[in-house]
A and B are shown apart, each in its own frame.
Chain A
Amino acid sequence: MVRDYLRREAVFVVSSAIILFFIAIGAARPDLLDAVSSAIHTVILDHFSWLYLISSFFFLLFVVGLALSKFGTIKLGHDAERPQYSFFGWIAMLFAAGMGIGLLFWGVSEPLIHYLQSPPFLTPETPAAAEFAMTYAFFHWGIHPWAIYTVVSLSIAYFSFRRGMPALISSCLYPVLGGRIYGPAGNLVDVLAVFATVFGTATSLGFGALQIHSGFTHLYGISSAISVTIGLIIIATALFMTSAILGVEKGVQILSKINIILACALLFFLLALGPTPYLFNIFSSTLGGYINNIIDLSLQSYPFSGNEWSREWTVFYWAWWTSWSPFVGLFIARISRGRTIREFVLSVLTVPPLFTFLWFSVFGGSALYLEQIPGVDLAAIAGTDISLVLFVFLEHYPFSALLSLIAIFLLIVFFVTSVDSATVVLSSLTSGGSMIVPLYKKVFWGLSLSTVAIILLVTGGLSALQVMAITAAFPFMIVMVILCYTLTIGLAQESVRQ
């Protein structure tokens, strides 16, 4: 009986054992965990940072190529199937997937940090540094992340909706693994997806917890000790657990929708009260620079001067998006049934990135605008405490306390909804792709995510979060390259199939 369970639940048993082992080592010997993860991270960056750049660019070319090829007309579902959601409803859900803690965390701080700590070949705090900062913020949050998500979501959607297989990463590897997807090889792929999702999501949760804490410290002067951050994570986890146990997922979904509306309201409030024409100028000129230089940006690692900068930023982002891709990919796949590949790819690669461009133009552009005013030194704050800068930035607007409270509310809800969605995805990945999952799995993954975030924060704070995101993403990036190959095989066999 035990043997049957172990065979049936191999992915859950193995992945939970790995995560528990990680938690145990982190709790007992944080120094050892830090040393090991840093060593792996250094090896990956020293030898394979270029691979992140090339593979991400390849993913972009691959999905655009698919959309424009004869395969673009193939439906993600049966030929007669209609899309499950209206176009606008679908776009709104894509927004929801793209919006998250990251946008709030990095919206103000990333352009400011690039402006203040630009690569060695650029003089910091100059107009050229500002232009560079905005271009790279667009680049890191532009179409590449969505191309990465698209590779995973297209593969899952194609193999599950059109080929009738379970919504698992291992299903997408059937053309190369055959029946072995049901054995250790397939389980290994699903374990890698779980591993990437846990650390990718934990990284976001860590960012969120740090920023919520900074917001409370800034508003109410509460202690900035790490124990408070941990306490906040525990409270947010308790909120999530309550919703999971009481079965109020519908309530969480409503909360999520309110959050999107609030985030949009915050964006338009800042756009209206800020230097609106200046922000639109930033939007338009940065978009032009981004489109014009996209190939150079995609492959540029500044090997002669600034390679370190490229590793710390671009490689980190590409790894982070990769580690998020099973989670977001699965979500996007589920809502995209019945759409053609062309419609899917072109919409995913245009609408959410345009929204994030606007977000960064408003938040980052306003911050750079304020930076020009004598006496305002947001960049210096960003340089010392990334999580605090959003709240200092909001101080320069009317109703700043209310705006900060809204930001904290957004962060808390994003935190809870992220854990909620991630646990659903993790539970599904560890239950053979089924959407009906036992409660104990949801509870286990919810607790694990929060505990991993706490361990990482205690071990090394922000840098530990980044280290683990890069490390966890590396094996999955290789899986994604194989996904491109298997998807091509599947699509090429469409005529044989018919």
Chain B
Amino acid sequence: MFEKTLVPVASGERPGELRKIGSILKSLGSGSVCLFHVNEAVSFFRGSDLSWLGPLAQALEDAGLSVEMKTGTGHIASAIAEAALMEGVDAVYMKAKRRWHLETMLLGSVSRDLLRLSDVPVFVHKLRPRLPDEEDRLGREDLIVLYATDFDAASVRPLPSVMEFQGARCHVLHVRRRMADPATERRRKEAVDGELHAVAEDLRPYFGWVTSEQRIGNPGVEALRVSDQISADVIVLGRKTPAFFSAPMGDTAERVVNESKASIFLVPHPGTPDGS
């Protein structure tokens, strides 16, 4: 899942931070990293000097990863998405940066754009799981994973990735609309319970504890709520074809990425207009 990971970096990134990221990637099973930088307009002070990438690569190598450095140009998220495809990486790792809401509204966010554009899975690292200190490592056996699914092709696709996380607990969540009458609602609930049970059975060998539930409401809101309730470290989602209203309103994945404290692992669905 993370065997070869693309890590986009910008100038100003600290080697100490990269060392922690390397440690996390290592614990998630990564062996090699493609350190990728998108050249922006040439800086007046620094010119086109890319020597600052060296210490960053060294920090990752210190964590036990083999590193190759690449650069690209153009729109940042598009360049990262293209590089991920060209380099044949398994996933893109991004550390989410705290930005003001207004700044995100006006300038957008690279992670949001990348989630929309990338054809390979994207891991957006948020507050949880906490970056490990120098001396300790992220214990994978403590990982709590929330897998949000609505059983369509897009959300079943991440199932193998969920299995690979192999954490302490996996909670399978299905959020749906209420049916229009009590009888249909009852039948739907039973059918969903059956499907949730089957998914939970598939995941049981990989986690110490597997739970599942179905909720009625807004998928984004409920996923965030459950994530907080179980203190999830990672939320695994499948990316769907964006609905017409998602352009101005934002879709579930975007909402979860923006507001979640847990990290997001988003798996694109091939064949979709922006994911094929």
Instruction: Report which A residues bind B (CB closer than 8 A).
Output: 159, 163-165, 174-176, 178-179, 486, 489-490, 493, 496-497
Contact = CB atoms under 8 A, between A and B. Distances in A.
A178 B179 CA distance: 8
Contacts of B183: 163-164
B180 A178 contact: no
A164 B185 CA distance: 13
A490 B180 contact: yes
Contacts of B182: 165, 174, 179
Contacts of B185: 174, 178
B184 interface: yes
B188 interface: yes
B46 interface: no
Contacts of B184: 163, 493, 496-497
Contacts of A174: 178, 180-182, 185
Interface string B204-222: 0000000000001000000
B98 interface: no
Given A159-B180, A497-B179, 18 more contacts: A163-B181, A164-B183, A165-B181, A165-B182, A174-B181, A174-B182, A174-B185, A175-B177, A175-B178, A175-B179, A175-B180, A178-B185, A486-B180, A493-B177, A493-B179, A493-B180, A493-B184, A496-B184
Contacts of A497: 179-180, 184
B216 A178 contact: yes
B180 A489 contact: yes
Contacts of B188: 496
B178 A164 contact: no
A77 to B, nearest CB: 14
25 contacts: A159-B180, A159-B181, A164-B183, A165-B181, A174-B182, A174-B185, A175-B177, A175-B179, A175-B180, A178-B178, A178-B185, A178-B216, A179-B182, A486-B180, A489-B177, A489-B180, A490-B180, A490-B181, A493-B179, A493-B180, A493-B184, A496-B184, A496-B188, A497-B180, A497-B184
A20 to B, nearest CB: 33
Interface hub of B177, B188, B216 (most chain A Cβ within 10 A): B177
A422 B105 CA distance: 54
Nearest to A489: B180
A170 to B, nearest CB: 13
Contacts of B180: 159, 163, 174-175, 486, 489-490, 493, 497
Interface residues of B, number: 11
B187 to A, nearest CB: 9
Interface string B154-183: 000000000000000000000001111111
Interface string B229-242: 00000000000000
Majority DSSP secondary structure for residues of A touching B: helix
A489 B188 CA distance: 15
6 closest A-B pairs by CB:
A490-B180, A163-B181, A175-B180, A497-B184, A178-B178, A493-B180
Nearest to B181: A163
B73 to A, nearest CB: 45
A490 B181 CA distance: 8
Contacts of B179: 175, 493, 496-497
Contacts of A179: 182
A303 B119 CA distance: 54
B153 to A, nearest CB: 17
Contacts of A165: 181-182
Contacts of B178: 174-176, 178
Which one of A159, A164, A175 has the greatest number of beta carbons of chain B within 10 Å? A175
Nearest to B184: A497
A139 to B, nearest CB: 33
A159 B180 CA distance: 8
A441 B80 CA distance: 72
A272 B185 CA distance: 58
A164 B186 CA distance: 14
Contacts of A164: 181, 183
A78 to B, nearest CB: 13
Contacts of A159: 180-181
A489 B178 CA distance: 9
Interface centre among B179, B181, B182 (most CB of A within 10 A): B181
Contacts of A490: 180-181
A496 B181 CA distance: 12
Contacts of A496: 179, 184, 188
Nearest to A182: B182
Nearest to B182: A174
A163 B177 CA distance: 16
A493 B185 CA distance: 11
A152 B110 CA distance: 47
A432 to B, nearest CB: 14
Nearest to A493: B180
A493 B216 CA distance: 15
A165 B180 CA distance: 10
A165 B179 CA distance: 13
B244 to A, nearest CB: 14
A245 B178 CA distance: 44
A164 B187 CA distance: 14
B195 to A, nearest CB: 14
Nearest to A486: B180
Interface in B183-203: 183-185, 188
Nearest to B216: A178
A176 B179 CA distance: 9
A255 to B, nearest CB: 38
Contacts of A493: 177, 179-180, 184
A168 to B, nearest CB: 13
A99 B184 CA distance: 39
Contacts of B181: 159, 163-165, 174, 490
Nearest to A497: B184
A490 B182 CA distance: 12
Nearest to B191: A496
Nearest to A181: B182
Contacts of B216: 178
